[in-house]
Structure 1
Amino acid sequence: MSKKPDRSTAMKNLIAAVRNDFPFNEPDANICGISCIGCPKKLLEIVDTELCDWQVKLEDNITPSFGEISRLAKLCKNVRRGLKRNGLVE
């Protein structure tokens, strides 16, 4: 059996996965199309703010609760759905 990661490692893994999946480094011209469904730029800003906040907390050795990991994962899942509607992720 594989051992489950501790909460800090799980949060770090979530942050890394989201950073690899979401187009944070795309120019605004590529993100803001002619017809947006929900503002993908604002969605990315919300997620980036949350990820940066948690990176700082993890560096300060603050351990997230299961609820905080779940909340961030749910936010990212919902934002990903919006990004997919706009053709920014597969």
Structure 2
Amino acid sequence: MPPDSTTAMRVLIARIRRELPLDDPAARVCHGACAGGCAPKLLEFIEQRLDDWEWRLAAGARPGLAELSALARSARRVHAVLVREGLLAAPAEPIHD
């Protein structure tokens, strides 16, 4: 049986925090020309989304499939930019919805 949406969101948040270099100072430095987006700004964006969802979950919010999919999609896009910018290696396993 699949987990409830709250558990699924917590698992997704934990995986994103584990796989993206949110605490790496080198990833927060602007490296000049950004091909697909600014890595520091994208990391800040995704971290704000994660913090927001953690707060909402603590307040009792129950995310739906659309919210789970949207967060996973955002994380995949940020990850792709970080790979293009050379800040991360290509994934062995992509982040799925």
Contact 1:22-1:80 at 8 Å conserved across structures: yes
Q: CA deviation at 1:46?
A: 0.6
- The higher relative CO (CA closer than 8 Å, separation ≥ 6) is in 1
Aligned length in residues? 86
User: Which amino acid in 1 is paired with 2:2?
Assistant: K
Query: How far apart, in 2, do the equivalents of 1:34 and 1:64 lie?
Result: 37
TM-score normalised by L of structure 2: 0.83
- The structure richer in helix per residue is 1
Contact 1:11-1:69 at 8 Å conserved across structures: yes
CA RMSD, Structure 1 to Structure 2 (Å) = 1.1
Unaligned runs of 5+ in 1: none
TM-score normalised by L of structure 1: 0.89
* 1:8 corresponding residue in structure 2: 6
Q: CA deviation at 1:34?
A: 4.3
Unaligned runs of 5+ in 2: 90-97
Query: How far apart, in 1, do the equivalents of 2:71 and 2:10 lie?
Result: 12
Secondary structure at the aligned position of 1:70 is classed as helix
Q: How does 1:1-90 map to 2 (within 5 A)?
A: 3-27=1-25, 30-31=26-27, 32-37=30-35, 38-90=37-89
Identity between Structure 1 and Structure 2 (%)? 38
